[in-house]
Amino acid sequence: MNNIDFTACPECDLLLKPTAPVVGDKAHCPRCGYLLHRPRKQSIERTFALSIAGLILIFPAYFMPIVGIIVLGKSKDGTLWTGVINLFAEHLWGVAVLVFLSSILFPLLNIIFSLLISVHLYFKKPNRYLALWMRWLQHIDEWAMLEIYTLGIIVACVKISSLAELKFGLGLYAFIALLIVTGMLASSLDKVLFWRQIGQLKPEKSNVNGADK
Amino acid sequence: MKSKKTALAQGFIRCHDCGCLSKLSDNLNVCTLCGGRLHPRLPHSLQRTVALLLSASFLYIPANIFPIMTYTKLGVGEPHTIIGGIISLINGDMVPIAMLVLVASILVPMLKLLGISLLLLNVHYRWQTHPKKWTMLYRVIAFVGRWSMLDIFMISILVALVDLGGVATVIAGTAATAFAAVVVLTMFAAKNFDPRLIWDKQR
């Protein structure tokens, strides 16, 4: 690690002295008001636990029926997965890929990366891919859109409620639980703390850098 | 002298990924902690944002003209545009949901296209007033952008669900692709805009 004991605001580049984080406090940038750091209680442990919970919930949420309709005696169930498949079948490949990425692949990767990183940090095991995973996690974060999918489900249900009879499946409960878990996961993952820990778990590399200087 | 306070002015580069600082004088290409590429500011921020924004605004036209989905019941079907879908929701006495769709699929994309253009103009012409408010505008745009996906997800569910052969089917239309592209392009445009440019221009 380098020995610079300053930080900078990511949105206005103001040079700042880092303060000692206290749980419950929020550190805002004095110039632009950006939320710099919000320390979380037991961030690593909670991320670990919640990502396991997410991993358990994610497959029933994907593959079990979320809602079903009954029209004139015929019934049909819809899952996250069949939504993507049907879009593919209708040759809307762009939309299908986008829905697949934002509602299936990225939420899954989000949970997997959170699990991998928090396991390594919890057991204090260095891994050369830690920083890479953390960077990917940050890039993926914005593109995992389960909460928006939930709104989509609500609007879709309202739209067809007048045309067909609706029934809710087990997948819906798994999906709602998954939504809550991923929400808690996002808020318990303290990025500043994680990066600091990743930096501390990287002794070999800092020696190499020190030798270079 | 506000500009003196930035990390860059004092010879530090902040890593975009992990946030740690490196000395400008070390001439590093990658961050020593995380291995991310170091740039003082996002590279070609304004050019990339303009390009993405222009593509998005052109696609906004087909997204609103062409039908986004077709609902067929017992062989009788009618294509709906985005606005048509909202109007049919209002006619069906579902005004709150109609408002939700209106905000997510009409107002938010328009706000993004307008807001990002204003941010670009602000940086280009160095409007010196209220940098904090401009940063707020940037934050709102970056936060709100993903919510336009609502319409796309709704179609994805309807397509999976209403697939009963001759009885009832929903088929997604060409506008869905255009609209999805608008959402993705504006999200990338917001991501490529570097809010620090607003503050760099302060005297």
For the segment B75-104, what is each residue's pLDDT rounded down to a tens digit? 777 788 888 888 888 888 888 888 888 888
How many CB atoms lie under 10 A from the CB of residue B65? 13
Domain region containing A107: 42-203
Q: What is the pTM (predicted TM-score) of this model?
A: 0.87
Same domain assignment for residues A52 and A76: yes
Same domain assignment for residues A114 and A16: no
Using CA atoms, how far residue A169 sits from B13, B63, B64, in Å, is 51, 33, 34
Same domain assignment for residues A10 and A103: no
Spatial neighbors of A182 by CB under 8 A, at least 6 apart, are A54, A107, A110, A111, A144, A146
Q: Is residue A168 part of a domain?
A: yes
Same domain assignment for residues A7 and A47: no
Higher pLDDT, A201 or B63: B63
Same domain assignment for residues A186 and A143: yes
Q: Is residue A156 part of a domain?
A: yes
Average pLDDT over residues B153-164: 84
Judge whether residue A112 has pLDDT over 70.
yes
pLDDT tens, A9-33? 888 888 888 777 777 788 888 888 8
pLDDT for res B131: 85
Chain B hits for A152, Cβ within 8 Å: 149-154, 156-157
Closest CA to B138 of B203, B178, B191: B191
Same domain assignment for residues A148 and A170: yes
Of B32, B159, B196, the CB nearest to A209: B32
Determine whether the interchain pair A103/B156 forms a contact, defined as Cβ–Cβ distance below 8 Å: yes
pLDDT tens, B161-173? 887 766 778 888 8
pLDDT for res B48: 92
pLDDT for res A50: 94
Query: A160 — contact with chain B (CB < 8 Å)?
Result: yes
List the single best residue of B156, B179, B184, B197 to mutate versus A (max A Cβ within 10 A): B156
- Residue A110 banded pLDDT, cuts 50, 70, 90: very high
Backbone phi, psi, residue A177, to 5°: -60, -40
Q: Is residue A208 part of a domain?
A: no
Same domain assignment for residues A3 and A67: no
Backbone phi, psi, residue B79, to 5°: -75, 145
Total domains, chain A: 2
Q: Is residue A90 part of a domain?
A: yes
Q: Is residue A109 part of a domain?
A: yes
**β pairing state of B76-80 and B69-73:** antiparallel
ipTM of the complex: 0.85
Size of interface A-B (CB pairs under 8 A): 221
CATH number at residue A152: 1.20.140
Q: Is residue A212 part of a domain?
A: no
Same domain assignment for residues A116 and A29: no
Q: Is residue A129 part of a domain?
A: yes
